[in-house]
Amino acid sequence: MITVAEALEALFALVKPVTAETVPLRAAAGRVLAETVTAQRDQPPFDGSAMDGYALRSDQAHPGARFRVVGESAAGHGYDGAAGPGEAIRIFTGAPLPAGTDRVVIQEDVARQGDTITLGDRLDTGTNVRPAGADFRRGDQMLAPRLLSPADLALLASMNVPQVRVGRRPEVALIATGDELVLPGESPAPDQIIASNTYALDALFRSLGARTRMLPIARDTRASLRSAFSLAQGADLVITIGGASVGDHDLVGAVAEELGVERSFYKVAMRPGKPLMAGRMSARMGGAMMIGLPGNPVSAIVCGHVFVAPVLRAMQGLPANPAPLYSARLSEPLAANGTREHYLRGRVTPDGIFAADRQDSSLLSVLSEANALILREPDAPAAAIGDIVRYIPI
Ligand SMILES: Nc1nc2c(c(=O)[nH]1)N[C@H]1C(S)=C(S)[C@@H](COP(=O)(O)OP(=O)(O)OC[C@H]3O[C@@H](n4cnc5c(N)ncnc54)[C@H](O)[C@@H]3O)O[C@H]1N2
Ligand code: MOO
């Protein structure tokens, strides 16, 4: 069995980055910037006021000083003239600072009578001026690749960039396998259960920028699996769920091989998720990358976070990195780990992190309560309250 790190390296070696496409800014949220963007302007484009008040010369701004108000500068309506000695300009937040002024005294610190203002006794010390280019300057860059956050979209808009080049959404085909499975809403026979894993994986992959295709459930026959694989044609990534282990009805590996999947690895030293497999489909079958996830719901979903999420990021052009790890202090002790890397379902709270009591890989109710996968290295010794552990937020 290979380690999780080795499996990730092998997966990254199978990744073919998607091509780029141009999309309007609103469609770029959560996508990966494919081409560096250069600002064509300064922001703000002028020295501007940060407050509502009066613009004047700072060397004249003494407590009790008087000024004549000779004009107004509002956002979108600057003052064309210049302020002379003893003159002030009424100004509002976001308005350009008029020539001849370098400070804004807020209106709370001013008494006004007609066109005359008198500064108060206790003036604030700042200029209340936002210098031109304080946010960004013409020529500043947003570097690709970059996962575009909501704030990034505002920054790009502010740069006057209406559309960007981003990685195409990877197309992911999801194939649930098993004679025991029916879809939610159907009437299961006494020996059947509801196919659930695909719903978590579908949501997870779409949240990572993918487009998903949920294919009909494949039955535990070679013919049914073959037909499912053929429906997956055109996808960038084919994900099977279940049928990956060693039982007589676990046919995914055999059928994949028959269809020309070149296997990269099978089985990873981790818990849950051991019977993971990966490879690439033959050119005849579309050449997609294939990942076979174990059927146990928690195993499939954990592998989605640990393996498929980094793969989808890399496909879209981000660096090939494992899922980011965070640290927290244990609020409950942990037993020593076995020989496989363990991803314990747990909860991180303001008081620390703890693992759920029950860790069987079939328990979706436990996973649903979890917000973290606590990472335990192979053979990690028991850990006490207060020890720091690493986790993947989920
Ligand atoms: N003799 C051995 N038996 C098993 C081993 C082993 O090493 N030796 N490994 C165990 C581990 S670990 C796992 S994980 C499972 C994985 O097996 P498969 O990938 O073949 O999965 P299935 O047998 O098809 O299903 C396992 C379990 O999950 C349920 N399932 C499957 N698909 C779905 C779905 N889409 N939604 C909800 N539930 C699903 C299925 O009904 C089974 O209960 O093998 C162990 N066995
Ligand atoms: O390791 Mo299997 O993947 O649940 O329990």
The alpha carbons of the chain give a radius of gyration, in whole angstroms, of 30
9 domain-assigned: yes
**Distance between CA 361 and CA 253 in Å, rounded?**
21
User: In the numeric block, which tokens belong to residue 90?
Assistant: 């009424």
Do 202 and 163 have their domain in common? no
Listed in sequence order, the residues at least 6 apart from 53 whose beta carbon sits closer than 8 Å to its beta carbon are 91, 104, 105, 106, 107, 108, 109, 110, 128
Chain centre distance of CA 59: 49
Looking at ligand 1, which atom is closest to the CA of residue 250?
Answer: 20
Q: Which of 264, 246, 261, 251 is nearest to 2 (CA)?
A: 264
Ligand nearest to the CA of 191: 1
371 domain-assigned: yes
pLDDT at residue 247, rounded to an integer: 83
Pocket test residue of 197, 241, 245, 368 for ligand 1, highest count of atoms within 8 A of CB: 245
**Protein residue with least CA distance to atom 43, ligand 1:** 296
Do 99 and 146 have their domain in common? no
Do 174 and 232 have their domain in common? yes
Confidence of residue 284 (pLDDT cuts 50, 70, 90): confident
Ligand 2 site, residue 197, Cβ cutoff 6 A: no
Q: Of 109, 130, 151, which residue is a domain's last?
A: 130
**Protein residue with least CA distance to atom 1, ligand 2:** 272
Question: Domain limits at 331?
Answer: 326-393
Average pLDDT over residues 71-87: 98
User: In the numeric block, which tokens belong to residue 292?
Assistant: 């076979």
62 domain-assigned: yes
Do 218 and 282 have their domain in common? yes
Q: Is the pLDDT of residue 246 over 90?
A: no
Do 183 and 297 have their domain in common? yes
Q: Which of 214, 221, 223, 290 is nearest to 250 (CA)?
A: 221
Ligand nearest to the CA of 303: 2
Cα–Cα distances in angstroms (integers) from residue 165 to residues 33, 150, 221, 261, 324, in the given order? 6, 16, 43, 32, 25
- Give the distance (Å) from ligand 2 centre to CA of residue 67: 78
User: In the numeric block, which tokens belong to residue 77?
Assistant: 């309506």
228 domain-assigned: yes
Count of domains forming the chain: 4
pLDDT at residue 273, rounded to an integer: 95
Q: Is the pLDDT of residue 376 over 90?
A: yes
Do 357 and 232 have their domain in common? no
Do 79 and 190 have their domain in common? no
Q: Is the pLDDT of residue 42 over 90?
A: yes
Q: Of 106, 130, 154, which residue is a domain's last?
A: 130
- Give the distance (Å) from ligand 2 centre to CA of residue 300: 9
Do 206 and 311 have their domain in common? yes
**Protein residue with least CA distance to atom 41, ligand 1:** 180
Confidence of residue 271 (pLDDT cuts 50, 70, 90): very high
Do 184 and 263 have their domain in common? yes
Pocket test residue of 296, 306, 359 for ligand 1, highest count of atoms within 8 A of CB: 296
The DSSP code sequence of 84-153 is -TTEEEEE-TTPBPPBT--EEEEGGGEEEETTEEEE-SS--SS--EE-TTSSB-TT-EEPSSEEPPHHHH
Q: Which of 229, 237, 343 is nearest to 280 (CA)?
A: 237
pLDDT at residue 286, rounded to an integer: 87
pLDDT single digits (tens) 181-234: 999 999 999 999 999 999 999 999 999 999 999 999 999 999 999 999 999 999
pLDDT single digits (tens) 156-171: 999 999 999 999 999 9
34 domain-assigned: yes
Q: Which residues of 242-268 are buried (b: 16+ CB within 10 A; e: fewer)?
A: bbbbeeeebbbbebbeebebeebbbbb
Ligand 2 site, residue 48, Cβ cutoff 6 A: no
CATH of the domain at 110: 2.170.190.11
CATH of the domain at 344: 2.40.340.10
Backbone angles phi, psi at 191, to 5 degrees: -100, 20
CATH of the domain at 140: 3.90.105.10
- Pairing state between β 341-349 and 372-376: antiparallel
Ligand nearest to the CA of 294: 1
Do 274 and 189 have their domain in common? yes
What distance separates the 2 farthest-apart alpha carbons in the chain? 94
**Protein residue with least CA distance to atom 46, ligand 1:** 245
Do 55 and 146 have their domain in common? no
CATH of the domain at 235: 3.40.980.10
Count of residues in the chain: 394
Q: Of 315, 338, 359, which residue is a domain's last?
A: 315
Do 204 and 340 have their domain in common? no
